[in-house]
Amino acid sequence: MKIALFPGSFDPITKAHVDILKRSISLFDKVYVGIGLNSNKKPLMEADKRLEMLKAVFTAEPKIEVISYEGLTVNFCQKIGASYMIRGIRTVSDFEYEKAIAQMNHALIPDIESIFILSKPGYSSISSTIVRDILRYGGDVSQFVPAEAIPFLPALSNG
């Protein structure tokens, strides 16, 4: 079986994430969406809420399983039997960053291959960071996140 991991914080998930996943599904028998937990970061949404949100978004996709993990992503790939890691690329700076990570991952565990999928031009400006900022100031993020994610988003306003 060809198994892949699409890792990220998904805080929150965006339409760009969904697009990358939908375009990669046909390449693999199973795709894990891995919510990476980083104790050094303070997320907008708690891990269990992100897990619920992603499960709601991908409920109709039988090849996708949502799971959370801690530690090195390449080690988690080994644990779940994934030989591939999917990464979305929006910009040249994304590519430079992801290339460095992929090369380090390859040095650690050469059997895990990174697969880069370029975002569609209409999604290249969408990031979870920007969506979080819009949420913090009470803005409408519905055009940037999948409809299934809206009920899980916190209602915040500092402005």
* SS3 at position 44: coil
Check 15, 24, 50, 90 and give the catalytic one. Answer: 90
Give the span between the Cα atoms of 68 and 32, in whole angstroms. Answer: 10
Please check if 126 is assigned to a binding site. yes
Question: Does 128 qualify as catalytic in the annotation?
Answer: yes
Q: Which two tokens stand for residue 113?
A: 């291959």
Q: Active site includes 24?
A: no
Known active-site residue 90: yes
Instruction: Flag whether 90 is marked binding.
Output: yes
Is 26 a known ligand-binding residue? no
CA pair distance 131, 145, nearest whole angstrom? 8
Question: Is 68 annotated as a binding-site member?
Answer: no
Ligand-binding site membership of 17 (annotated): yes
| Catalytic residue chosen out of the listed positions 41, 79, 120, 142 | 41
98 among the known binding-site residues? yes
Catalytic residue among 17, 24, 50, 132: 17
Flag whether 50 is marked binding.
Answer: no
* Residue 127 labelled as part of a binding site: yes
Is the distance from CB of 159 to CB of 137 less than 8 angstroms? yes
**CB–CB of 12/150 below 8 Å?**
no
Helix, strand or coil for residue 143?
coil
Amino acid sitting at position 103 = Q
Instruction: Decide if 55 is catalytic.
Output: no
Annotated catalytic residue within 15, 50, 128, 132: 128
- Which H helix or E strand runs over 14? none
Which residues line the annotated binding site for ATP?
9-10, 17, 88-90, 98, 123-129
Which residues line the annotated binding site for substrate?
9, 41, 73, 87
Catalytic positions: 17, 41, 90, 128
Which residues line the annotated binding site?
9-10, 17, 41, 73, 87-90, 98, 123-129
